[in-house]
Amino acid sequence: MAHSESALHSKQLPPHPETATLEGKNKFLSFWLFLGGETALFATLFGTHIGLRGSVAAGPGPAELFQLPMVAAATFILLLSSFTSVLAIMAMKENKVRSMQLWFFVTMLLGLAFLGLEIYEFTEYVHEGLTLQVSAFASSFYMLVGTHGGHVLFGVLWFAALLIRNFNRGINTYNAPKYYVAALFWHFVDLVWVFIFTAVYLMGKVAS
């Protein structure tokens, strides 16, 4: 049976429910260790792409391919999703269950919109001749941007799983750390994209 908003947040929460328990603090610490590994992964992919950016062989290069208006639109969408996830966490801390769920749902929709643009972008590049095997530039580009896209998809599925599993459970010190860590992961993914937009697309246009 569905619970009303008032019933769902009738129980008082501590000021920081995400770290109110030892389990929550351990989740928070473990997540930062996990992000260290993720940072090393993306640093390797960035270094590889920057080193191979000029190795276009007989294939097209970034100057001919990159469509900055579309990439800028995708960037705006992803940054907006980071803002909506902040609104979700603010609602969580205020024990506003339905507001939190709504903002996380909006975040998911924005993430899916970003993925739709990225799939369209990749399809256009393939039609232009930028296949995975055509050059070292192509391989490093698809590996870096594709890995980021995989992280976006994972983040969307993570939010979906949390919302479905906890839809009528309210907010408590057990699931609050899970929401918080998922939102932190989303911010990390958004931050990585800012570096991709700068180092891959903008520098690719300038350096070509």
Residue with more model confidence, 89 or 174: 89
The two counts, helices (H) then strands (E), for the chain are 8, 0
Does residue 196 have a pLDDT over 60? yes
- Return the higher-pLDDT residue of 9 and 188: 188
pTM: 0.88
3-state class (DSSP) for residue 30: helix
Q: Regarding the domain with residue range 17-207, which homologous superfamily does it belong to in the CATH classification?
A: Cytochrome c oxidase, subunit III, four-helix bundle (1.20.120.80)
Per-residue model confidence as pLDDT tens digits over 2-15: 444 444 444 677 66
Contact predicate 149/118, CB 8 Å: yes
What are the extents of the domains in the chain? 17-207
Distance CA 208, CA 206 (A): 6
- Please state, in angstroms and rounded to a whole number, the distance separating the CA atoms of residues 49 and 85: 30
